[in-house]
Amino acid sequence: MSTGTLITVAPTGAEHAKSDVPNLPVTLEELVRTAQDCERVGAAMIHVHIRGADTTPTLDLQRLKDTVAALREETSLVVQLSTGGAVTDPEEDRLRVLDAMPDSASCTMGTVNFGDDVFMNRWEFIVELHKRMQDRGIVPEYEIFDLGQLASLHRLLDQHGLPSGGHVHVDLVMGVPGGMPGDAETLVAALRMIPDGATFSATGIGRTSLPVMLAALSAGGHLRVGMEDTISYARGERVRDNAQLVARAAGLAKIAQRPPMPVAEVRTLLKVAQSN
Ligand code: KMH
Ligand code: ZN
């Protein structure tokens, strides 16, 4: 069991509209301020989706590069870019995200129904993402939306080798309508399929946020929280900001006697280069 807890914040995502969620960080300034606030209360990694000037999701490469540079300048967080993007993003744009050279990038291990949409991740696309990250020294976080995707992860590692740095880290994204449920029983089932030596974090979408967080902590896992995954803090109460969610996760991690991991420790764990 790990002695500390890696807390990742996913502050924005690609699904919520700024008009519906006015406190969603969408500008670079808002994102950097959010990142600093979250680092202060215990986050060590940030999972980033960016928005364009019109506040809708974009994978514009220059904007991604500027975002990575600003987060490196203003925080010491491990910077993870999403290659998942929005369900409408073409594969070539999602692959180009890696040209922004983040510390880490997400790599979803299969296609999944995503509410009324389909989040498409063909096998050849997954392999291409994995290989490009290997070549560039970018550390993947394998995003798992359903149990079969863990079987695909074993197949990927068997056929194409370990990721950059040699350590495997997965994130269980639970409670997406169309994916695996967000409950303790499913989390335990997923853990039986995780590669030997791998670490995991978990996040519960919407109202599964708390049950998944508590189950992950009790199973020795790490946590991802943020407004990408939930915009309600409690029944009938909207999230104030991302730092509120990180602070709650940090508090629970302390109660579990696995306090938030400092960034340098996380970099060592995930085999991400130390920041300057
Ligand atoms: N926005 C979802 C369609 C990832 O970031 O890699 C995909 C997603 C996963 O959020
Ligand atoms: Zn994401």
Contacts of 62 (CB under 8 A, 6+ apart): none
Q: 176's torsion region: left (phi>0), alpha (psi -120 to 50) or beta?
A: beta
The residue type at 38: C
Which of 95, 106, 174 has the most ligand 1 atoms within 8 A of CB, as the residue to mutate? Answer: 106
> What's the predicted TM-score (pTM) here?
0.98
Ligand 2 centroid–CA 209 distance in Å is 15
Q: Tell whether ligand 1 has an atom less than 6 A from the beta carbon of residue 141.
A: no
- Distance, CA of 110 to CA of 119 (rounded, Å): 8
DSSP 10-73: ----SSS-TTT-TTS--SHHHHHHHHHHHHHTT--EEEE-EE-TTSSEE--HHHHHHHHHHHHH
Q: Tell whether ligand 1 has an atom less than 6 A from the beta carbon of residue 86.
A: yes
Q: What is the dihedral of CA 198, 77, 165, 221, to 10 degrees?
A: -10
Q: Tell whether ligand 1 has an atom less than 6 A from the beta carbon of residue 111.
A: no
Which of 143, 173, 176, 224 has the most ligand 1 atoms within 8 A of CB, as the residue to mutate? Answer: 143
pLDDT at 276: 60
- Distance, CA of 20 to CA of 130 (rounded, Å): 35
User: What residue owns the CA closest to ligand 1's atom 8?
Assistant: 84
Ligand 1 atom closest to Cα of 15? 1
Ligand number nearest CA of 143 is 1
Q: Tell whether ligand 1 has an atom less than 6 A from the beta carbon of residue 82.
A: yes
Low-confidence ranges of the chain (pLDDT < 50): none
pLDDT at 1: 52
- Distance, CA of 249 to CA of 254 (rounded, Å): 9
